[in-house]
Structure 1
């Protein structure tokens, strides 16, 4: 799961649209579930509180985010956002989707493997860490079945299938080009 936080005014501004679309697409490529916390704008000291004015653009943006598969969560401020993050973390732990391997790799060999795993499409940092800690060698990973990739990478079947296809296509293409 990935969680991103934006203020209402950021989502209401057409100037942020391209960056928001790129960010959402990138997160959806790497994570199974993407949540967006929409946080009320902060009131600066000395300013008077004025209600947020919803616009057609703002409502259209929210509708597009929901249609794209994002889960929208609403927050009154940073404290609410922090509480939402705690609840989302607990939910992921209950579903056994928490990070269960060390957050670092110690040896140079594993660091190189981590970088290689991160270069693969649809593999995020947590997947790469799981692959690093659950496969002794890159060769072992390459020769794994979809089911073994799914278990070792702690990823969905569809993501494991993508990695499997990538490994088969990339390795076959590389070997065919070097054998000439």
Structure 2
């Protein structure tokens, strides 16, 4: 039961990106959905071979790429827009993007730790709770301009911190 739950959690977490990967290569809506379903079934059937030290998203995209290539070799009219080598290049680009996002997220976490508590509270109100600046001003008893200015400075400081961490290779 735990294996099934783990698979479902990981699959649902990465479903959108796998669909995006397949959609970037297969233009026909019906063929795209067929490939996605075949890939989903293969993911479940091969889940015991998944190495949890590896990104599930990268593993899932690799299986989806194999399904696309299999379909293309079985049917030359299969609506894939790129040659086999280009399919693999797109797969590599998705993997690099995922690695970069992971690095940026880790840098953001580390940079947020350096933000004073009051600043973290403002960021949480705006970006975690999704409050409008007017509501934040009311709740924190600040002027609207003060909230705008504080958030702008916090974003700029975080952006600079993240840029420095990534440039130094320390994410």
Give the TM-score normalised by the residue count of structure 2. 0.29
Give the TM-score normalised by the residue count of structure 1. 0.28
Q: Which has the higher strand share?
A: 1
